[in-house]
Structure 1
Amino acid sequence: MPPLDALIAELSEFIAIPSVSADPAHQGDVAAAAEWVAERVRRAGGAADVIPWGKRPLVIGEVRASHNADSAPTILCYGHFDVQPPDPLDLWSSPPFDLVDRDGWLYARGIADDKGQLYMLLKAAGLLAAAGELPVNLRIACDGEEEIGGHSIVDWVAADERGADAAIVFDSGMIERGVPAFNVAVRGLCYFHVTVRTGTRDLHSGMYGGASLNAMHALMQTLSAVLPRDGRVPEELRVGVVPPSDAEVAGWAALPAGRAEIAAAGSVPADPGAADEFYLRTWGEPSVDVHGVQGGSPVLQKTVIAVSAEANVSIRLVGDQDPAVITDAFETLLREAAPAGSELEITRLSAAPPGLIPSDARAIVLGLDAFEEVLGVRPLLIRSGGAIPLVSALASRGVATVLTGFSLNESNVHSPNERIPTSYLPLGIEAAAALYRHLADLG
């Protein structure tokens, strides 16, 4: 293993590229990050291409096994090289695209999600290949639009005829420090933009208040139709929910208390039953959230009746829920709730199905052995509340995926001061190398 300073210096190059996929101004940076990834595959002795695919590139590459490549198993490695926007910048303790080692933590946008973790997979491959000890064929497939729900990687999987014997994704985290976890299910996602219009121009609230339809009121009334009550979304949005088994629920009871998890995130329970049902609600239940609302004058004192209001809102999917079915139900609920006279426009911005990985799959068992060898503890089998379209696509093709990672609840993922423990950088590289060695037994 190279010295820690050398690892940090190399990773700093990757982190410094502000590959914010949500901002069109950073489209060139997303392309630069793709080239950085491709170059690391080439330096490992492999081949890689940056492939234009829609609006953002894919990196597709391969590093062949050091020996007996024709008979060695093939493992697909995925990570994304785009990152969340860094704002609000004034809440960062150091510049978001400078990798800073401070008080036992590595700070930077993307260090946990997902550049730092993708780097672990790439570096482990490079080290094993350089030593002539890479025991599997690695296929590298990375995208630059995961943070905006892009489908290019899913489309690539659908078109790919080669497949793989298993897959590895480092884009998750531990239950708590020293307690690793493998995610055997991911939630899906449908993301919508909703716009309500109620007239041709803003009006004086003294002259028309109480008589003219207010777009902000209309939007709130419309959205109320899909919001959860006591932790459950409307029945129309529950089609396809598969309850977790009793064994799963019993295992979740051994995890840190939900109330403590919510408090550690600096939040409060959504309702009196939320803390006790924390894992069920975040892993086994669909959830609806409003992510942003705009309209009228939320800052300046301005007495107007707004003519237009808009919001971003999404629903997380579980079990066997079909994004198309849920989209239809979602839109129907909104249209039925919109007040008479309002004009409602609904645009689905992205969608991804949920995915389930058999917990007894050979690749999962071998992966558990590998992590136990390096970390000294066997990972817990849990579910993920997030949506990773590639995992769902691979699950539908029967490719067992080791979905794990080295972030923590306090890693501030998607928030200012994103971080991982400094010691987890070399630890993650060691764990990735052990995964490659153990998965060779699939052959």
Structure 2
Amino acid sequence: MHVPPLQELVEELAELIAIPSVSADPDHQGAVAEAAAWVAASVRRAGGTADVVPWGGRPLAIGEIPASTSPESAPTILCYGHFDVQPPDPLELWDSPPFELVERDGWLYARGIADDKGQLYMLLKAAELLSLEGALPVNLRFACDGEEEVGGHSIVDWVKGDSRDADAAVVFDGGMVERDVPAFNIAVRGLCYFHVTVRTGERDLHSGIYGGAALNAMHALAETLSGVLPRGGRVPEPLRAGLVPASPKELESWTKLPTGASEIAAAGSRPADAAAAEEFYLRTWGEPSVDVHGIKGGSPTLQKTVIAVEAEANVSIRLAAGQDPDVIAPVFEQLLRDAAPAGADVNVELWSSAPPGLVPPDARAIELGLEAFEEVLGVRPLLVRTGGAIPLVSELAARGVPTILSGFALNESNIHSPNERIPAAYLPLGIETVAALYRRLGELG
């Protein structure tokens, strides 16, 4: 397969980049729809069929490109990327217009070049080149959305309602560990987010008169939260129910990553305890974690000698692979209630939840993907996880669809910041790698 020269690719991708599809801005909803139409047209140019499908007030671009030969027996691959982008503000910090694709000093600059238009383009262009040459060995189904940047769930709802099977999925909305060190993200953590309210009486009291005798809501809240907080880097054992430990293959990959000490230091933070740096990846990827996000009560700014009658907190647990939010949420609530002091009224609300997702590292699709990347890049991707929640990956994992979550963004790609960028060489290289990936996935049979 012949990949066109960089300049030709840049000129074509610049059309998509120029569409200011900022999903967070109501004034740009027309542009989001225009970007969806561009993606659908790209699928049609490759010999496929595609439509812009309204979904909950926002557009999806849904299409498919048949395998060049025997599509009835070829594997089916579901491809995802998003065509909406973050707002470009502050504009004065950009060195070139954000919606103008510019090559400078070996980099391509533009809003969306890394997240995610440039990477979606790699999926689309590789499909087009293979299809037009009659060399596409898989059926490709594209399902792309325009609300990823505002936390929308339309694509997840679409996948849930889709009755057709896929042999594997490819999601290009990720990046490398560092330059020229690719990675496959095979697991995402889930989440249960709670709001806790503790009341200890009818009204605030004078601390001089009642201090030491009356129950203090702030004290009661602290005791309540202690029931779920980690000790020695591990959450209470009941909150680890269902956990699937990281495989030896994954653990080996993690030893090749930057040290936990360097990652914590680079974030300007400090280790939670003496073992936190050494266990950084295990704790953030392979274990559940609990964090208190905010506390409200009493008078934290004015000098006011009262015993507070009410205190509130937001607290969450990140769920590791194998865990079920429907199982963990009631256990979490009970641990809070059990830790509360006598006399405290505790109200716990579950505000949101999302399941974790895990792709078996020995899945055939993953192995073929590793081979494809190594074929083009000369290096085998590392198997990593993310501590965040990606509902689409969780849903695909629940359906038993092995997902290759990867990409060509870098830590220095300035994602969500001014001067977003990727190395210019990664655009044709990414297309070549995706083409190799499609060819290898054709072996799924």
TM-score normalised to structure 1 length: 0.80
Equivalent position of 1:261 in the other structure: 263
**Change over 3 Å in CA distance of 1:167–1:345 after alignment to 2:** same
Equivalent position of 1:46 in the other structure: 48
**Change over 3 Å in CA distance of 1:337–1:279 after alignment to 2:** same
Distance 2:313 2:424 in 1: 38
Equivalent position of 1:436 in the other structure: 438
**Change over 3 Å in CA distance of 1:312–1:140 after alignment to 2:** farther
**Change over 3 Å in CA distance of 1:99–1:302 after alignment to 2:** farther
Q: Deviations over 1:342-396 (max 9, x none)?
A: 8867352452332232x33222222222112211122223333333323222223
Equivalent position of 1:169 in the other structure: 171
Equivalent position of 1:352 in the other structure: 355
Which SS does the other structure have where 1:315 is aligned? strand
**Change over 3 Å in CA distance of 1:214–1:42 after alignment to 2:** farther
Shift of residue 14, structure 1, vs aligned partner: 3.0
Shift of residue 312, structure 1, vs aligned partner: 6.4
Pairing of 1:126-137 with structure 2 (within 5 A): 126-137=128-139
Distance 1:74 1:410 in 2: 34
Distance 2:312 2:147 in 1: 24
Equivalent position of 2:276 in the other structure: 274
Shift of residue 3, structure 1, vs aligned partner: 3.0
Shift of residue 255, structure 1, vs aligned partner: 2.8
Equivalent position of 1:361 in the other structure: 363
**Change over 3 Å in CA distance of 1:68–1:294 after alignment to 2:** farther
Shift of residue 433, structure 1, vs aligned partner: 1.0
Distance 1:439 1:321 in 2: 29
Shift of residue 100, structure 1, vs aligned partner: 4.1
Distance 1:294 1:5 in 2: 55
| Contact kept? 1:50, 1:57, Cα under 8 Å | yes
Further displaced range: 401-410 or 147-156 = 147-156
Equivalent position of 1:406 in the other structure: 408
| Contact kept? 1:195, 1:308, Cα under 8 Å | no
Which SS does the other structure have where 1:80 is aligned? coil
Matching residue's letter, 1:58: L
Shift of residue 427, structure 1, vs aligned partner: 1.0
Pairing of 1:207-356 with structure 2 (within 5 A): 226-289=228-291, 314-332=316-334, 346=349, 348-356=351-359
Equivalent position of 1:2 in the other structure: 4
Equivalent position of 1:381 in the other structure: 383
**Change over 3 Å in CA distance of 1:188–1:382 after alignment to 2:** closer
Using the aligned pairs only, state the percent identity: 69
| Contact kept? 1:317, 1:354, Cα under 8 Å | no
Distance 1:322 1:259 in 2: 31
Equivalent position of 1:74 in the other structure: 76
| Contact kept? 1:189, 1:314, Cα under 8 Å | no
Matching residue's letter, 2:357: P
| Contact kept? 2:321, 2:356, Cα under 8 Å | no
Q: Deviations over 1:276-313 (max 9, x none)?
A: 11221222112344667899999xx8889999998765
Shift of residue 125, structure 1, vs aligned partner: 1.1
Distance 2:133 2:42 in 1: 16
**Change over 3 Å in CA distance of 1:276–1:76 after alignment to 2:** same
Matching residue's letter, 2:164: R
Matching residue's letter, 1:119: Y
Equivalent position of 2:193 in the other structure: 192
**Change over 3 Å in CA distance of 1:320–1:103 after alignment to 2:** same
1:31 aligns with 2:33: yes
| Contact kept? 1:291, 1:312, Cα under 8 Å | yes
Pairing of 1:412-423 with structure 2 (within 5 A): 412-423=414-425
Which SS does the other structure have where 1:101 is aligned? strand
| Contact kept? 1:186, 1:387, Cα under 8 Å | no
Shift of residue 431, structure 1, vs aligned partner: 0.5
Distance 1:441 1:148 in 2: 37
Further displaced range: 301-310 or 257-266 = 301-310
Distance 1:197 1:108 in 2: 48
Further displaced range: 91-100 or 149-158 = 91-100
Distance 1:111 1:373 in 2: 25
| Contact kept? 2:192, 2:329, Cα under 8 Å | no
Which SS does the other structure have where 1:279 is aligned? helix
| Contact kept? 1:356, 1:392, Cα under 8 Å | no
TM-score normalised to structure 2 length: 0.80
Larger Rg belongs to: 2
**Change over 3 Å in CA distance of 1:47–1:341 after alignment to 2:** same
Shift of residue 117, structure 1, vs aligned partner: 1.4
Matching residue's letter, 1:140: F
